[in-house]
């Protein structure tokens, strides 16, 4: 009996094909495998893979329902949680477009002439991000913000032959861990720069004292992991450049609609997380690493990953797209490639392009302001509760903000969870933060009622202490 996904599994077809090959049985096609390694079909079929037999759609549907029933889904608000990825609404038109098989089931566009639409969509992704960041060159995607950062640091090592990186002591701890993993084989090291405990801004004196001729790059987050907007972003770039260090900025793209972009603040390289641009949370991925550089050949030639370029057909008649500057890449340069990346997050880049096109210039600015208002409203309301300081850091913020509670975050979060609210990422272990410090997040998916309910439950929790 034929398997629905294996058209030639029909016994007669299989037999005829084997005859044309000139072998008696399929076993003969495996005869070059050393006998001690060969597994007999009846032994293989007993291995604990799947559920012991081929399942139908009817059966898998039952099974998956059971799996999903063991995932708690609250009717209440989306999690008040950020920390590098954030809950946002994904427009239906985005989901519709990117589920089309012509995109979903395509490979990397090695054959350009038959893949122009995909390449145009990727070029538009690069171009939309370029406008958002005001940086000239954007690659076709990295895995996520953290791995984009790791690659940016490796770029800086190759460009400068220096190995020290200055980073804020409050930087996203998971990004920090990834960055350390990427630079470890190349003797790179991260050195923390102090952050002001009152404002959450980088301590410029400490930065000045640490930037030296060994410094490959200075990195800041913008907005910071704590939600704080680094007011001295431009000055920090100047300090880095005076010592010959590169300036790398890590960004959240929606807030770029209202923030002065990295390209205007002196950034040489920008990285960031494209997840807010219509990707959903998906418990960890797939996400979208943004990587952009300014118009500088030395940096561009050190970029990792694919880049789609606009060109024309050989006859000059039509606009056309092609993978460009490929001599940086592993399939050409092998051991001397700028990175080993090949499969990236192309479909997520197309997703971001559709999202940015839908929201457009006005929509994105409006969304960023909307989030600014709501996060400020939540902080203000929470701060009216006796014992809560919100925001804990006084610098201007958007979307994420720090909160100091009068009790341990664990107790607070459990209490809220018992009221069907998931809230906050604990900050303990990061820089000077304590076990009573929480990172809270509010976006457009949280209504005023959701926020009021959060505040109400928080009050109830604290009164009960």
Partner 1 sequence: MQGYRQAVWEEPLIFELGLKGRRGFKIPELEREIVDSIGEFRLPESVARREPPELPSLSEVEVVRHFTRLSQTSYGVDLGPVPLGSCTMKYNPKIALKYAFNDRLSSLHPLQDDDTVQGLLELLYRLERWLEAVTGMDYCSIHPAAGAQGELAGGLVIRKYHELRGNLEVKKEIIVPDSAHGTNPATGTMAGFKVVEVPTGEDGNIDIEALRSTVGEGTAGFMITNPSTLGLFEERILDIIEIIHSVDGLVYYDGANLNGIMGRARPGDAGVDILHLNLHKTFSAPHGGGGPGAGPICVKDRIVAGSVKLRDLVPGFKIVYEESTGKYMLEGPGQYSVGLLRAWIGNVSQLVWAYVYIAMMGAEGLREAGEISVINTNYFLAKIKRETKMYTVPYGRDRHRKHESVISAEKLRDETGVTAEDVAKGLLDSGFYAPTVYFPLIVEEALMVEFTESETRENIDAYVNRLKVIEEIALKDPGEPKKWPLNTSVSRIDYVKANHPKTVTPTWRVKVLRDKGLLGPLK
**Does residue 84 interact with partner 1 by CB under 8 A?**
yes
Interface segment toward partner 1; rule CB under 8 A; list 203-211, 243-251, 283-291, 399-407:
283-291
308 binds partner 1 (CB under 8 A): yes
Residues 140-159 binding partner 1 (CB under 8 A) are: 140-141, 143-147, 150, 154
Does 241 sit behind a cis peptide bond, omega within 30 degrees of 0 on the bond before it?
A: no
Q: Does 32 bind partner 1 (CB under 8 A)?
A: yes
Distance of closest approach, residue 283 Cβ to partner 1, in angstroms: 4
Q: Based on CB atoms, which residue is closest to partner 1, 36 or 161?
A: 36
Contact code string over 381-400 relative to partner 1, x by CB under 8 A = ---------------x----
440 backbone dihedrals φ, ψ, rounded to 5°:
-105, 155
Name which position in 11, 24, 110, 429 contacts partner 1 (CB under 8 A): 110
Write out the two tokens for 91.
């427009």
Region of 184-192, 204-212, 240-248, 427-435 interacting with partner 1 (CB under 8 A): 184-192
Which residues between 216 and 235 bind partner 1 (CB under 8 A)?
A: 229-234
Binding to partner 1 (CB under 8 A): which residues in 285-304?
A: 285-287, 295-297, 300
| Cα–Cα distance for residue pair 232/220, rounded to 1 Å | 10
Tokens, residue 217: 């790059």
Q: Which is nearer to partner 1, 111 or 386 (CB)?
A: 111
283, 275 Cβ separation under 8 angstroms: no
Find the angle CA(438)-CA(442)-CA(444) to the nearest 5 degrees. 170
Output the CA torsion sign for 263, 266, 269, 272: negative
The residue within the footprint of partner 1, chosen from 24, 102, 429, 464 (CB under 8 A), is 102
190 lies in the site for partner 1, by CB under 8 A: no
* By CB under 8 A, residue 91 contacts partner 1: yes
Cα distance between residue 219 and residue 190, in whole Å = 10
How many of the chain's residues bind partner 1 (CB under 8 A)?
215
Question: Distance between CA atoms of 215 and 455, rounded to whole angstroms?
Answer: 45
Binding to partner 1 by residue 46, rule CB under 8 A?
yes
Footprint (CB under 8 A) of partner 1, residues 410-449: 413, 417, 422, 425, 444, 447-448
Over its C-alpha atoms, the chain yields an Rg (Å, rounded) of 26
Asked whether position 236 contacts partner 1 by CB under 8 A, the answer is: no
Q: Are 178 and 147 in contact (CB under 8 A)?
A: yes
The smaller minimum CB distance to partner 1, of residues 184 and 212, is found at 184
> DSSP string spanning 339-386?
----S--HHHHHHHHHHHHHHHHHHHHHHHHHHHHHHHHHHHHHHTST
Task: Tell me if 68 contacts partner 1 by CB under 8 A.
Answer: yes
Give the residue from 184, 246, 254, 253 showing the smallest Cα distance to 219: 246
CB of 441 to partner 1, least distance (A): 9
Beta-bridge mates of residue 168: 193
- State how beta strands 289-293 and 137-138 pair: antiparallel
Residues in 112-141 that interact with partner 1 by CB under 8 A: 112-118, 120-124, 126-128, 130-132, 134, 136-138, 140-141
Among 11, 24, 161, 343, binds partner 1 (CB under 8 A): 343
């Amino acid at each position: 009996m034929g398997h629905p996904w294996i058209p030639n599994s029909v016994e007669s077809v299989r037999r005829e094909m084997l005859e044309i090959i000139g072998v008696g049985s399929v076993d003969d096609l495996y005869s070059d495998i050393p006998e001690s390694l060969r597994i007999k079909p009846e032994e293989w079929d007993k291995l604990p893979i799947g559920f012991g037999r081929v399942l139908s759609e009817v059966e898998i549907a039952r099974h998956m329902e059971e799996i999903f029933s063991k995932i708690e889904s609250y009717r209440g608000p989306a999690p008040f949680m950020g920390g590098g990825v954030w809950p946002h609404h994904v427009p239906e038109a985005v989901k519709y477009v990117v589920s089309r098989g012509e995109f979903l089931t395509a490979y990397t566009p090695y054959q350009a002439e038959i893949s122009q639409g995909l390449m145009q969509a990727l070029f538009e992704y690069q171009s939309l991000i370029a406008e958002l960041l005001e940086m000239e060159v954007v690659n076709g995607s990295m895995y996520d913000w953290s791995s984009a950062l790791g690659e940016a640091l490796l770029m800086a090592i190759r460009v400068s032959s220096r190995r020290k990186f200055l980073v804020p002591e409050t930087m996203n701890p998971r990004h920090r861990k990834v960055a350390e993993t990427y630079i470890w084989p190349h003797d790179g090291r991260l050195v923390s720069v102090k952050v002001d405990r009152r404002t959450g801004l980088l301590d410029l004196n400490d930065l000045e004292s640490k930037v030296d001729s060994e410094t490959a790059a200075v990195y800041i987050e913008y907005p910071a992991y704590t939600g704080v907007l680094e007011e001295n972003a431009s000055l920090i770039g100047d300090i880095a450049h005076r010592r010959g260090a590169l300036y790398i900025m890590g960004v959240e793209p929606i807030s770029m609609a209202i923030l002065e972009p990295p390209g205007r603040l002196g950034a040489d390289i920008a990285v960031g997380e494209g997840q807010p641009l219509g990707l959903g949370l998906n418990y960890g991925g797939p996400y979208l690493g943004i990587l952009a550089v300014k118009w500088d050949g030395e940096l561009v030639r050190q970029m990792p990953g694919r880049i789609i370029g606009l060109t024309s057909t050989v006859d000059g008649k039509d606009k056309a797209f092609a993978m460009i500057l490929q001599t940086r890449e592993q399939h050409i340069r092998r051991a001397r490639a700028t990175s080993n990346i090949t499969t990236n997050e192309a479909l997520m880049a197309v997703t971001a392009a559709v999202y940015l096109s839908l929201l457009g210039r006005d929509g994105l600015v409006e969304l960023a302001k909307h989030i600014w208002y709501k996060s400020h409203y939540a902080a203000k309301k929470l701060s009216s509760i006796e014992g809560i300081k919100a925001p804990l850091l006084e610098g201007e913020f958007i979307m994420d903000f720090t909160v100091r509670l009068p009790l341990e975050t664990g107790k607070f979060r459990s209490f809220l969870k018992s009221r069907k609210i998931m809230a906050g990422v604990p900050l303990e272990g990061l820089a000077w933060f304590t076990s009573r410090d929480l990172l809270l997040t509010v976006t457009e998916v949280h209504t005023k009622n959701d926020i009021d309910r959060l505040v109400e439950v928080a009050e109830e929790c604290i009164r009960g202490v």
